[in-house]
Structure 1
Amino acid sequence: MELGTFIGQICRYDRQEYFECYGQIEERLHNLEKILGTLEEAQRSMILEQMEHRAGEAPVWVRIHLLSFCMKVSKTPAYTQELLQTVLDADWNEVGEYEKLSDYWQIGTAVFADARLKGERTQEQLAALYRMLFDAFCGALGIKGRNYVPVEERDGNLVFVMTSQVLGQNHAPTKTLLDRCLVLKKYLRKKVVIINTAMQISGKGAGPFYDLCEAGYLPELYSLDHIEFQGEVFEFHQCANDMPNLDTMVQLVQMIRERKPCYLLDIGGSDICADICGMLVPEITVGTVFSAVAMSCGEYQLLDGKPGTGDLPVLERLGVDVEKIAAARFTFVFKPQEHDYTRQELGIWEHGFVLMIVGWRLDSEIADDFLAMLDRIAAQRENVQVVFMGRYESWQSIQTGYERLWKHTRYLGKQEDALAVFACGDLYVNPRRAGGGSSVAEALCQGLPAVTLPEGDVSAAAGEAFRVRDYEEMEREILRYMDDAGYYSRQSARARERAKELLDSRKSFGEAIEKLEEKIKDGVSR
């Protein structure tokens, strides 16, 4: 069946027919993606433009599905922005609150995983969509504006900490959650209640969207009433895996009204449930993508540094006062090192200069321009070895386009003891991406200098001393590290010093919270 005939056919389906055939439609689109991958760029672009044109004539749920395909396959921001605008403009009767919330998460997750999808207006559009959804859910619950529990009635020693997902201690956001709770309880002497709202990548009411991703959820945590971390015990509640559930939201709102915490801390942002509770007591949001403001309608935020010019329209869309964004260096907590590996045990060259590239989304984060840069280095230095750690399922494709680099490549996959692996490396090298902050902090802790572009979480965590302008300068910097032992030694010392700062949550987070506590006693900045 030709593409035009296929699209024409699915455009004639009513909604029930479309969902009945959804699996077949997805299969056809997956096959089309494989075919497009074999074509030249010009031909691929022409086919996607034809699909985009036909999508404009389709029912809105079909349009969203086809545009999501164009976005993910083209890897260009134009389709991202068109898709977001389509969701924003869609009538509530055609695309309801639950479906728009699912679309918000799917688009946001895709943009986070692949920086090429992010355009100049993408974050602003996401913020507009989030605010639209927040207002809709507030309306459904009858919440018309901030109406804080009076300060004299709030329990000054009680803090609710909310997050949209809790997984194991290999999960960086979960480690961030527990670390901040530890500071609140151990050093600030607060009673802490942790609530997993399970709002991460909501699948409830999801509409057609190409290659839907799902969030991790640990059902075994649902029955727990407490969790432990570094010798401290925290009261714990986990929502069922059916969020957003209005009845559950009402119960959480009632819990806030009854227990009256002095404030709540939202770890991660993009949590409408937490933001609704933040209409009853002051809310402080700590984003886990800390190089930009979090998607949150809470009154206060902690940010690693000052808001950038790109953050200002996002805050305006969210309805957040820029004066209520407080600066605090983002800090980390690591899983303790348990092993002392040798390079031989890991299959790493004994006398090589080892470049470490680490992440859980490397398939979408590593692009051809990054591989080409590494390939040029492999051509110039026989002793360089490029080691990938994490998830990079397409790593073997390197051998077809980058034969020189392929001979210098090692893929370690998932490693439980990252600190032990970093101890066998020489240099942390970062591709263009949004995340990765936790891994660079681990590398710095082991004395590995880093090389990163001036964007994203790795750049924010590593600091100015380890930034380069572009991949051309990155290539020169890597060669300098290989050739100049004195420079390497000085930068290694700076890496360890930076790591000390990145591990001091008591100072960075604790002091920032203490300052904010003075401002939020009555919910009004002073």
Structure 2
Amino acid sequence: MEQFFGILQRGLGQLDATGEYEEGTLRELKESYQKFDAAMQQNMLRVIEQSLAKFPITLQIYIWSSLLAVLRDEKIIPYMGELTADDSLNLWQKVELMNQLQRTIFASEMIKDEEAEYKRNSDAYTALMDEIRQQNKKEFSYLPWEKRNKKIVLITKQFIGRQHAPTEITLQMNRYLKELGYEVVLYVAYMPNRNTAPLWYKQCLWNNFMNTAGAFQGEIEGEELKGYNLLFTEEHYPEQLYDAAEMIWQEAPEWVLEIGDKTILADLCRQFTTVLTRRCVKTIPVTNAPIIVLALDYTMAEERRYQSWLKPYQQFVKVKHSIVGNTVVVEKEKKENYGIPEDKFVILLVGNRLVQEVTEDFLKTIYTMLEENPKAVLAVIGNCEALEKRIAEAYRERFYFLGYTEELQKTMTIGDLFLNPPRQGGGTGALYAILQEIPVVTLDNCDVQVNVGKVFTCDSIELMVNLVHQYCEDKGFMEKKKEACRRKAEEILAVDEKENYRRLCEFVETYTIRQEKQVQHPDGR
């Protein structure tokens, strides 16, 4: 234990001087921590908690967030819980910290006890919403169904581009609902943090299609859109939230659909209209909305398990939505166009969070794959310059960093295999791979597995090495998996999203009218 704290002290000195841990210190800190069993690790974390107690809250949070990023241990999260809810922090800071924590968890695949983390997350979110309502007691009168307009409001935190899954889903929903005769208005609940004091280690800077507040209307990303970009600021955050809620109340929509979760704004709308939440990944959303939209395939066991986590008034409604449902298969690109010899076996690594998702341990796994398969190379697609710098010198010539592309599906056609690192995201890229008959290698219990099916999963990272070797060497095995791709592609392209959303509209109307006839609160409580 003494050795661990010596390394930690050295690392905190580096953090104070440069804002970063040195690479050697990162490695030593993690290796030293992992030598201990769970009980001893918990004792070590308690010692850290006692040692940090004398520091300002914001500094404590920053240090804990750095340890979470380095050690990737879910046991650290509870130590941050009380700190991020401290009364010395304003509401904007609390929401920002909640978002940063969720982003770190999402990109790291550290959660082992999914139910416990969901409960912690849900309790923290509910407490935050209670605080927001206590600070601003503004009331909105309930809108009975017959007084609502044939209008649907979509709410999302960011609107970026088609390679961003929530943005692509928003664009598609906008199209389907308009085709069903609805007026659709998009509210982007954007919280820019570029010019605020950093509260989090390697803080994620949120991006958006607009950096000014105001209305927008016209063609955006090839779709006709209208709505409002809400530029929430730290100084006026609570007032701006309620001003935005009042704007939606004046719209008098039939219902509000939150894309993602914890937008805060959607929760305030429960007071006057029906609210639904639809998350863009496999795990169910943290929300107080009465209706949770399930757009992916779940087993009966998974549904029962997730149902047990819900509040008594909440329920699921299935709305199958394939994000690549209207996509067509594109012609295969030549590898040489990207500087890769045609005889190489190209393993695709795709994503814009690969810097966090591809750990040192997973990099070592990739190196083993390359050692065992002389013709294999890695084509890395996405913004990940920091990952490029981490590649060991001995393997640099076998990595091709292609950067970000607006033509992801087209670029991916150079691949022979899609490798999914341990993570929650990556589902869109995996679906493009399936449509292009590029088999997928993934672990179970993640978005990619849900999207492509069990046939492409393996039980451990170690087994990934054997599986990749089989793809490289066994042509019969490869052809069998390509046939599985074709079958899955037929299933994906057969989904009728517009009809599924028509049924959702009917469900919401029936649900709302039934709730209004009952004594309980119309929002489902």
- Range of TM-score over shorter length: 0.7 to 0.9
Match of 1:36 in 2: 25
Give the aligned residue type for 2:244: L
1:180-191 alignment to 2 at 5 Å?
180-186=173-179, 188-191=180-183
| Bigger Cα displacement from structure 2, 372-381 vs 258-267 | 372-381
Tell me if 1:457 matches 2:444. Answer: no
Equivalent of 1:103, from 70, 80, 97? 97
Partner of 2:515: helix, strand, or coil?
coil
Match of 1:137 in 2: 132
How far apart are residue 195 of structure 1 and its match? 1.2
Give the aligned residue type for 2:363: L
**Partners of 2:424 and 2:106 in 1: CA distance:** 6
**Partners of 1:212 and 1:140 in 2: CA distance:** 27
Tell me if 1:299 matches 2:290. Answer: yes
**Partners of 1:238 and 1:506 in 2: CA distance:** 27
Match of 2:160 in 1: 167
How far apart are residue 440 of structure 1 and its match? 0.9
Tell me if 1:152 matches 2:146. Answer: yes
Partner of 1:39: helix, strand, or coil?
helix
Cα displacement string for residues 3-48 of structure 1 (whole angstroms, at most 9, x for unaligned residues): 99x99xx9xxxxxxxxxxxxx9965362445562263645567998
Equivalent of 1:246, from 231, 238, 245? 238
Tell me if 1:76 matches 2:68. Answer: no
Cα displacement string for residues 225-251 of structure 1 (whole angstroms, at most 9, x for unaligned residues): 313368753322111242673333333
The answer to whether the 8 Å contact 1:337/1:420 transfers is no
The answer to whether the 8 Å contact 2:357/2:422 transfers is yes
Match of 2:171 in 1: 178
| Bigger Cα displacement from structure 2, 405-414 vs 341-350 | 405-414
1:167-246 alignment to 2 at 5 Å?
167-186=160-179, 188-199=180-191, 208-219=199-210, 222-228=213-219, 233-242=224-233, 245-246=237-238
The answer to whether the 8 Å contact 2:91/2:237 transfers is no
Give the aligned residue type for 1:427: L
**Partners of 1:495 and 1:356 in 2: CA distance:** 16
| Bigger Cα displacement from structure 2, 335-344 vs 435-444 | 335-344
Give the aligned residue type for 1:135: D
Partner of 1:291: helix, strand, or coil?
coil
Partner of 2:89: helix, strand, or coil?
coil
Cα displacement string for residues 142-181 of structure 1 (whole angstroms, at most 9, x for unaligned residues): 267x9641112112x2111111111233333211111111
Match of 1:379 in 2: 371
Give the aligned residue type for 1:198: Y
Match of 1:498 in 2: 488
**Partners of 1:159 and 1:507 in 2: CA distance:** 15
The answer to whether the 8 Å contact 2:91/2:238 transfers is no
**Partners of 1:216 and 1:399 in 2: CA distance:** 31
Tell me if 1:467 matches 2:457. Answer: yes
Partner of 2:256: helix, strand, or coil?
strand
**Partners of 2:271 and 2:491 in 1: CA distance:** 34
Partner of 1:238: helix, strand, or coil?
strand
Match of 2:262 in 1: 270
Tell me if 1:259 matches 2:251. Answer: yes
How far apart are residue 221 of structure 1 and its match? 6.4
**Partners of 1:32 and 1:386 in 2: CA distance:** 28
**Partners of 2:211 and 2:256 in 1: CA distance:** 25
Percent pairwise identity: 21
Match of 1:435 in 2: 425
List gaps (5 residues or longer) in structure 1: 11-23
Equivalent of 1:362, from 354, 358, 363? 354
| Bigger Cα displacement from structure 2, 391-400 vs 133-142 | 391-400
Cα displacement string for residues 366-425 of structure 1 (whole angstroms, at most 9, x for unaligned residues): 12443333333322222222221113322343325xx4x545322222223111211111
Match of 2:522 in 1: none
The answer to whether the 8 Å contact 1:430/1:450 transfers is yes
Equivalent of 1:349, from 341, 346, 349? 341
Match of 1:62 in 2: 59
1:501–1:280: structure 2 CA closer, same or farther, 3 Å change rule?
farther
The answer to whether the 8 Å contact 1:193/1:235 transfers is yes
Give the aligned residue type for 2:510: K
**Partners of 1:106 and 1:167 in 2: CA distance:** 18
The answer to whether the 8 Å contact 1:78/1:119 transfers is no
**Partners of 2:198 and 2:396 in 1: CA distance:** 41
How far apart are residue 456 of structure 1 and its match? 1.8
**Partners of 1:25 and 1:371 in 2: CA distance:** 25
1:499–1:140: structure 2 CA closer, same or farther, 3 Å change rule?
farther
Q: How many pairs were matched up?
A: 493
The answer to whether the 8 Å contact 1:198/1:238 transfers is yes
How far apart are residue 52 of structure 1 and its match? 4.0
The answer to whether the 8 Å contact 2:282/2:447 transfers is yes
**Partners of 1:231 and 1:369 in 2: CA distance:** 41
Match of 2:523 in 1: none
Q: TM-score, normalised by structure 1?
A: 0.83
Match of 1:18 in 2: none
**Partners of 1:222 and 1:340 in 2: CA distance:** 42
How far apart are residue 483 of structure 1 and its match? 2.9
Give the aligned residue type for 1:106: Q
Partner of 1:196: helix, strand, or coil?
strand
List gaps (5 residues or longer) in structure 2: 519-525
**Partners of 2:28 and 2:290 in 1: CA distance:** 49
1:219–1:514: structure 2 CA closer, same or farther, 3 Å change rule?
closer
How far apart are residue 219 of structure 1 and its match? 3.3
1:141–1:260: structure 2 CA closer, same or farther, 3 Å change rule?
same
1:129–1:283: structure 2 CA closer, same or farther, 3 Å change rule?
same
| Bigger Cα displacement from structure 2, 379-388 vs 244-253 | 244-253
How far apart are residue 119 of structure 1 and its match? 5.2
Match of 2:106 in 1: 112
Partner of 1:293: helix, strand, or coil?
coil
1:224–1:496: structure 2 CA closer, same or farther, 3 Å change rule?
farther
Give the aligned residue type for 2:118: Q
**Partners of 1:222 and 1:134 in 2: CA distance:** 24
Over the residues paired in the alignment, what is the CA RMSD in angstroms?
Answer: 3.4
